[in-house]
Chains A and B, each alone.
Chain A
Amino acid sequence: MAQATAFSHEGPPSARRLVSAMLVALVVAALVLVGAVMPAEYGVDPLGTGKAMGLLALSSVPESTETTPEASAGSEGTPVQSGPVALYSVPYRTDSVELIIGPYEFVEYKYRLEKGASMLYAWAATAPLVHDMHGEPDGAAKDYSESFDKQTRGRADGAFVAPFSGIHGWFWENPAGEPVTVTLASSGFYTTAVEIRSDRTRTPHTLRSVSPSTRQGESR
C-alpha cells in the first residue's frame, strides 16, 4: 500500500523527459544500426566495428560453387594496361546458357568482373523482353545498382568494360503470358556467374576456362 502511495506522488513522466528518453533510444538504435546491422547485412562498415566483431563475414554471400584463387583474391581480376594490350591474372572464360522465363516472371544473370575487366556478349530472346543491363558495385547498399542499357529488347550484341568492381549482367522480364527463352553467349575475364530468379533463388553457373594447359608457360 505504501508503495502505491509512492507511485501516485511520482506521477507520469513529463513530455520533456519522454522526448529525452526517445532521443536517447534513437541514438542507441542508430549506433546499433551503423555498428552492427549495416556491417552484418550490407558489408558497410563505417565505424570498423563489423571487422572487429567479425560481422562482415555475414554479409558476404557465396555466389558460385566455382572457387578459384583468382576469385578469392578479389582485385586480381583487374587488368594491367600496357599500351593497347590489357593483361589479366585471371583466365579467359566463356559461358553459354539458355534461360526460360515464365509468363510475367523475371530472371537476372550476372558475372563478377573487376574494374576495367572486359567481356563480349550476345543474347537473343524468342520475344521482346523488358531489359536492364546493370551492375552492383562492391560494398554498395543491397538494392543499389547502376543501369547501363535499359529498354525493351529482343536481342543485343555488345562489348562491356566494367566501370567498377562488382557483379554485372542482365535483368530480363517477360511482360507477356507466354514463356520466353533467352540464349546468352559470352566470353571475358569474369570469375563467377549467378542466375537469380523471381523467387530470389540463386543458382551459380560453372564457367569454362579457355586453354588452361597453355597457361603454365605464360609470362605475366
Chain B
Amino acid sequence: MIRRNLILMTLGTLLIAPPMLVAHEEFRVVGTVTTRQATQIVVKATDGGTVAIAVNKQTRVTRDKKSVDLAELKPGVTVVVDALGDSEDDLLAVDVQIVPPIQPRK
C-alpha cells in the first residue's frame, strides 16, 4: 500500500511539477470585452479574433492606473490584457487595463 502511494505520488509530481516550473510567454491582447464569467473573460481583439482569457484573484484590473474590481470588466469596455500562456488558447490574465474605446482598424 505504501509502495503504491509512493509510486502514485512520484508519478503525480512528475506530471505536475515540470509544467508548473516552465515559464510561459507574455501575450498582450487589446480589444473589447464581449462576455465575462467568474473565471474568464472573452475579448474581441482589434485584429478581429476572439480570445478567451482566464482570470483569478491575482488578476489586477486598473483604470487610469487605479485598481478596480473585476466586476468592472463589463461587456463593451475596451481592455489591454497582459496575460501568460503557451498560446492564445491558453491564457491567464495578469494585468487588465480598462482604456478608452479604440477606433476600429480600417
Contacts and interface: CB of A to CB of B under 8 A. Distances in A.
Q: Do A and B come together as binding partners?
A: yes
B21 A32 contact: no
B46 A25 contact: no
Contacts of A102: 30, 46-47, 105
A15 B105 CA distance: 61
Interface string A130-146: 00000000000111000
Q: How large is the interface on A (under 10, 10 to 19, 20 to 34, 35 or more residues)?
A: 20 to 34
A195 to B, nearest CB: 15
B7 to A, nearest CB: 9
Nearest to B28: A198
A10 B2 CA distance: 9
B25 interface: yes
Interface in A1-60: 7, 10, 13, 17-18, 21-22, 24-26, 28-29, 32-33, 37, 41
Contacts of A220: none
Interface string B1-41: 11001100110111001100111011111100000000000
A33 B29 contact: no
Interface residues of B, number: 31
Interface stretch (A71-79, A86-94, A103-111, A210-218): A103-111
A25 B80 contact: no
B21 A33 contact: yes
A103 B46 contact: yes
Nearest to B51: A199
Interface string B56-74: 0000000000000000000
Contact of B13 (A17, A29, A103, A104): A29
A199 B80 CA distance: 12
Interface in A53-71: none
A170 B10 CA distance: 44
B99 A199 contact: no
Contacts of A41: 22
B22 to A, nearest CB: 6
Interface string A191-208: 000000011100000000
A37 B19 CA distance: 9
Contacts of A29: 13-14, 17-18
Interface of B: 1-2, 5-6, 9-10, 12-14, 17-18, 21-23, 25-30, 46-47, 80, 88, 97, 99-103, 105
Of all A-B residue pairs in the complex, the 3 with the closest CB atoms, nearest first, are: A25-B13, A198-B28, A29-B17
Interface of A: 7, 10, 13, 17-18, 21-22, 24-26, 28-29, 32-33, 37, 41, 102-106, 141-143, 177-178, 198-200
Given A103-B99, A105-B30, A198-B30, 5 more contacts: A7-B1, A26-B17, A104-B28, A104-B99, A199-B47
